[in-house]
Structure 1
């Protein structure tokens, strides 16, 4: 892997759409990294204003969000909470990224299982962060960048992120070593109280932004929708995480039913189904694993494999006296590793036989016609056949 110092060079990709002059002396492996010799880059390196910097800063050379009241705050003790510094980090990163990629999704999340900051371009999280208050070492945030990242990006060489502790920020390239362990390589360290460092951070973001589209293009399906929230018509909120799925229910009526059913399936070791791994009753949430990829079979071999795995699950489930009642492709998920498939979403499962009901997901296009009147194992097998 070839990494570069973002403090002193604008980088891009060969044959990209960006107007970048090539410095022949600093070309890196396979012409992948280029240094910019444009006048804008030269002026930025000297700390001079350009049109882009003018749009990101006020006339007094202070980043947007800072105003004339700053002088009245001199001498006031610096804040000590993590939340108090979010405006500082957002001005350095979020505002610049939002200007460059107006269609991207930027999100902050207080959940312990998510990064603190997510920048998602075309369903791929190409840039993320872990942030702490000033009294916590920045190394804690840097380690969390790696520990929370489950690599699903295939052969993509790296994604990017930053660790922050108060005003101190370190940019990282996040990648896998030869053993598949996620590592971070520091690109630059900045103090956002220092005016020159603010300009250097803008340069660094511009450099990384040149690479984001290429990362998205090379990313496989397993690296997309890493963090995603889906609200179902039933009121259930589904949150996707890299390795598990969390479902938050509008009330507790379904929780007892699902806890009992998944407990029986776990005791009977039912194959090729998702597993209940965490119960949070006061938040009305259940967490399931594994997290797979929602794709349909692309050829006959994959179709036969999916049918085989679903039928194995149904045989075991029917042996317990349960029927699934909602077998359709959105509930048949492919494992991220390997070529196996598994069945999810047993919220509608019931003992057999069972009078049916006309739910929105029970359609003649996706289910056997008889399933609209009565549910039984034979009809579920017919549904799989369709």
Structure 2
């Protein structure tokens, strides 16, 4: 809100102009006030230097010969005549010349600085000598002790001879009251005494004429298509009369070239010198003239209320009704009446108006504006490809679900693949859209611009690309889109089949229809955290566990791991690293049982595809622990027979297979190398204390570093009651002396004994 923003002339009161002229006419710089002078170092004003400076400035103020013996008149007219027309730089230069003629070598800048410092200190001493504080203390400044001067915030040292010299021509200029000095501050370089409050005011500025205004906006030409006109509203009466409201889009760059010429009335100058402008008539009620910044934005509060998940999951039968139920009226976003009125039909399910000054601007900018705006990529010529619809689908569906979800949700997009572009099974092809909550793919989508002959349609693809790995979870969510038509659905398992249950369909071709998608997105977003939590309830007490059929792990620096139901694809950022890892697996080449192997490679994309697919999962009981260690030690026996060592064993490198029950395998052979090695080796990312054998950091190390890794697996398994025989194995494997550790074969036979003792029921 501003005072007639269209008017380009800045109005000033006579008092304001008087202050500006006084501040600009003072030649010496304004002295520092008391508070600022306390923060700088105290100045010591001594006679040998400052008396000549004072005499030089007396010449500037009163005129006279070069020896400084000018007349003692201090009349303002004489001084004004003497110095009128000189700039401060010219005066400083003349003062420096005066000092040089009297044997004091100072340049103009130094001389000017000395004068400013001296004048500020002189003001304090002069006010003390003429003020009431001196009468109370009963001492002149020159009789005060250093402590008393500091106590009264006076200069530490000011020579009396310098004071007498300055008093001759600067004293009359210090006789104004503190109030008058507040109005006109300065040292009066132009030779005029400080003006008091009774001085004659300056005349008002001349009236502003319409004909002399800036160019009229009707005559402006837009430079490009990005420039648009912006209307201005104004208050005609009331306490805000004379103020205008300019409305701009958030983040819009504004350039003002002129103002619109009024055709109703002409401007007239008032007696006070202000110009009364004709105001534009109201086009809307008063609420339109209140800027939106006056309204409070409670978007975060209402979002937090709507993000609260229900206490229980609705059944599959109730789901269709649940996703269409609007939120309670008290949780709907309040909007300004004019904004609410401009929304298309269907707005009442998520928005309302309020008699209070509330306006949820953030939700309008973040969610509603992208939904309602015209998508430039969707034209008659470009609407024939899937890519042209992606912006519409994301704005109306995926961004809304992510916004209302209480947990962090990652959305990943993948291009559509055909049988001609990939040889992967359909079940291992990523959906077009995947949404991850707690690393579980509980939201997915299939999209196409139109159904084509010979290709599966999105409703079929979303089912075919799903491998049910979520155990007893009742359902997960998804959608399939064909052009503007979008259908929300639930995916569930019935025996060995995947069932798709359609919940709600919307047509995104019009803004009113797009608003209808908000409620299903809001309801689905509230159920996704419940589904994620249910996957992890009592997970340690279960023999089997849920995991995600699709998974993506970003290792940083361009290294990414993507998992499908049957494959693991690793992407590398450098050709050198890709080639090094590939060389290791080529040497092993299926000769290691219970270990991953390369099944596909691409030097163009720097990717390696591995089998089998596994997931990180620690054993939930001692039987699983013994079984997992047996698979690990069998793999190590074969690896050590090839004179190779893994060197980085941990539960992140021992995975449970997803295609077989209770079978484990070793992966991550990036650090594998021939044994023995003579030089120290520190594994990147292996900062965990005690994970790696101590000899690896010293130098010579061999295959016994993997036996140390077996001991680490037992120690970090997370089980509370580890059997005594396993604790003995752990202690032997973690011996500091590698020569005293067992071999991998010894560990395997020890585990067989543990398993035999467990099956016989004897204590072990």
TM-score relative to the length of structure 1: 0.78
**Is 1:187 aligned to 2:532, yes or no?**
no
Based on CA coordinates, which of the two structures has the bigger radius of gyration? 2
| CA distance 1:64–1:344, shift in 2 (3 Å) | same
* CA-to-aligned-CA distance 1:247-301 (integer Å, 9 cap, x gap): 2223233444443443454443x22111212101111111112222213334332
**Is 1:89 aligned to 2:393, yes or no?**
yes
Q: Which residue does 2:346 correspond to in 1?
A: 47
| CA distance 1:249–1:38, shift in 2 (3 Å) | closer
- Distance in 1, Cα, partners of 2:579 & 2:381: 51
* CA-to-aligned-CA distance 1:132-172 (integer Å, 9 cap, x gap): 12354795222221222222111112111111121122222
Displacement, 1:311? 0.5
Q: Which residue does 1:376 correspond to in 2?
A: 702
**Is 1:223 aligned to 2:547, yes or no?**
yes
Kept after mapping to 2: 8 A contact 1:13/1:33? no
**Is 1:274 aligned to 2:601, yes or no?**
no
Question: Secondary structure of the equivalent of 2:683?
Answer: coil
Displacement, 1:40? 4.6
Q: How does 1:92-103 map onto structure 2 within 5 Å?
A: 92-101=396-405, 103=407
Question: Secondary structure of the equivalent of 1:64?
Answer: helix
Question: Secondary structure of the equivalent of 2:502?
Answer: strand
Q: Which residue does 2:439 correspond to in 1?
A: 123
The structure with the largest helix share of the pair is 2
Q: How does 1:13-52 map onto structure 2 within 5 Å?
A: 15-16=311-312, 40=329, 47=346, 49-52=348-351
* CA-to-aligned-CA distance 1:68-125 (integer Å, 9 cap, x gap): 768x999855622211111211122123213312642232323553222222223222
* CA-to-aligned-CA distance 1:166-219 (integer Å, 9 cap, x gap): 11222221122312x333222233321145543432232233234222211222
Q: Which residue does 1:7 correspond to in 2?
A: none
- Distance in 2, Cα, partners of 1:123 & 1:257: 29
- Distance in 2, Cα, partners of 1:344 & 1:101: 35
Report how many residues are paired. Answer: 357
1:168 aligns with one of 485, 490, 497: 485
| CA distance 1:368–1:108, shift in 2 (3 Å) | closer
Kept after mapping to 1: 8 A contact 2:405/2:529? no
| CA distance 1:155–1:346, shift in 2 (3 Å) | same
Question: Secondary structure of the equivalent of 2:348?
Answer: coil
**Over aligned residue pairs, what C-alpha RMSD do you find?**
3.8
Q: Which residue does 1:246 correspond to in 2?
A: 569
Displacement, 1:130? 1.3
Kept after mapping to 2: 8 A contact 1:332/1:343? yes
Q: Which residue does 1:303 correspond to in 2?
A: 625
| CA distance 1:128–1:95, shift in 2 (3 Å) | same
Kept after mapping to 2: 8 A contact 1:228/1:241? no
Displacement, 1:352? 1.8
2:664 aligns with one of 335, 338, 341: 341
Q: Which residue does 1:204 correspond to in 2?
A: 520
The structure with the largest strand share of the pair is 1
Kept after mapping to 1: 8 A contact 2:458/2:482? yes
Question: Secondary structure of the equivalent of 2:598?
Answer: strand
Kept after mapping to 2: 8 A contact 1:328/1:367? no
* CA-to-aligned-CA distance 1:284-332 (integer Å, 9 cap, x gap): 1111122222133343323222221110011112222322122122211
Kept after mapping to 1: 8 A contact 2:327/2:349? no
Displacement, 1:343? 0.8
Kept after mapping to 1: 8 A contact 2:484/2:508? yes
Kept after mapping to 2: 8 A contact 1:120/1:127? yes
Q: Which residue does 1:106 correspond to in 2?
A: 410
Q: Which residue does 1:64 correspond to in 2?
A: 369
Question: Secondary structure of the equivalent of 2:516?
Answer: helix
Kept after mapping to 1: 8 A contact 2:370/2:395? yes
Deviates more, 1:143-152 or 1:29-38: 29-38
Q: Which residue does 1:23 correspond to in 2?
A: none
- Distance in 2, Cα, partners of 1:202 & 1:328: 45
- Distance in 2, Cα, partners of 1:264 & 1:282: 22
- Distance in 1, Cα, partners of 2:546 & 2:373: 47
Kept after mapping to 2: 8 A contact 1:272/1:309? yes
Greater relative contact order (Cα 8 A, min sep 6): structure 1 or 2?
1
Q: Which residue does 1:153 correspond to in 2?
A: 470
**Is 1:354 aligned to 2:677, yes or no?**
yes
Question: Secondary structure of the equivalent of 2:614?
Answer: coil
TM-score relative to the length of structure 2: 0.42
Q: Which residue does 2:610 correspond to in 1?
A: 288
Task: Note the residue ranges of structure 1 that are not aligned, 5 or more in a row.
Answer: 1-11, 18-26
Question: Secondary structure of the equivalent of 2:616?
Answer: coil
Q: Which residue does 2:85 correspond to in 1?
A: none
Displacement, 1:129? 0.6
* CA-to-aligned-CA distance 1:21-40 (integer Å, 9 cap, x gap): xxxxxx97999997659765
- Distance in 2, Cα, partners of 1:50 & 1:30: 23
Deviates more, 1:86-95 or 1:249-258: 249-258
Kept after mapping to 2: 8 A contact 1:163/1:170? yes
Task: Note the residue ranges of structure 2 that are not aligned, 5 or more in a row.
Answer: 1-307, 333-344, 354-359, 418-428, 537-544, 713-764
- Distance in 2, Cα, partners of 1:286 & 1:215: 33
